[in-house]
A and B are shown apart, each in its own frame.
Chain A
Amino acid sequence: DTGVSQDPRHKITKRGQNVTFRCDPISEHNRLYWYRQTLGQGPEFLTYFQNEAQLEKSRLLSDRFSAERPKGSFSTLEIQRTEQGDSAMYLCASSLIVASGYNEQFFGPGTRLTVL
């Protein structure tokens, strides 16, 4: 257990429905990332936050995807009008940025989405 939690762990939905996932990072971590992982592939970056500011969102897969981190703590990822191609594992990671250079990202267990 890395200290990053995600909820729900599994979500099954019908095509066209909206879904929202939650990520709770390690409490003092100021940076939070969302990734998507399809079967047999490595995680693919979607977006990230520094505190409550979303600093990169051009990698979100379409305008159906949005993310928030309103108080700089937990974050939500919403997918509107889900499609079967959205079926994947959605991973959250957090890190503590204190200086330049790389700071380890700690991953949560992921939310597995199945769109029927």
Chain B
Amino acid sequence: GESVGLHLPTLSVQEGDNSIINCAYSNSASDYFIWYKQESGKGPQFIIDIRSNMDKRQGQRVTVLLNKTVKHLSLQIAATQPGDSAVYFCAGPQRNAGNMLTFGGGTRLMVKP
């Protein structure tokens, strides 16, 4: 989703439930996408990545889905834990600018015990 000013979209889930965080992108030439997790007071931390020639990639408790037709990707977190509470960003590198990252607006995930 889009964030406006100080208001990040927030997803609130119960501990143990699955979480799905969404991201839309605009550049159809994008060939690589990354999900980052950012905890309060820390820098972004790499979670998982996916290349555009894939539509799904799985990690430990996380899965990223890529739908190039509608330019959408999602991050699924299985059995969400309190430690998953953070802001999640999707990002993509710009190849013609030293792989500088362009970040999406972010979603705040809150896990209720």
* Chain A residues with a Cβ under 8 A of chain B: 2, 4, 31, 33, 35, 39-45, 48, 50, 55-56, 59, 91, 93, 95, 102-110
Contact = CB atoms under 8 A, between A and B. Distances in A.
Nearest to A105: B101
A42 B98 contact: no
Given A2-B45, A107-B43, A107-B45, A43 B101 contact: yes
B6 interface: yes
Contacts of A39: 6
19 contacts: A33-B101, A35-B101, A39-B6, A40-B3, A40-B5, A40-B7, A42-B91, A42-B103, A42-B106, A43-B103, A44-B103, A59-B100, A102-B32, A102-B99, A103-B99, A107-B43, A109-B41, A109-B43, A110-B42
Of the candidates A4, A105, A110, the one having the most CB atoms from chain B within 10 angstroms of its own CB is A105
Contacts of B89: 42-43
Interface residues of B, number: 26
Given A39-B6, A40-B6, A42-B105, A56 B100 contact: yes
A57 to B, nearest CB: 11
Interface string B82-113: 00000001010100011111111110000000
B104 A42 contact: yes
Contacts of B106: 40-42
Interface centre among A35, A102, A103 (most CB of B within 10 A): A102
Interface in B1-58: 3, 5-8, 32, 41-46, 49
Nearest to B105: A42
A41 B104 CA distance: 8
B99 A55 contact: no
Listed residue (A42, A43, A50) with the most chain B CB atoms within 10 angstroms of its CB: A42
A55 B100 CA distance: 11
Interface in B57-78: none
Contacts of A55: 98
A35 B97 CA distance: 14
A64 B68 CA distance: 40
Nearest to B89: A42
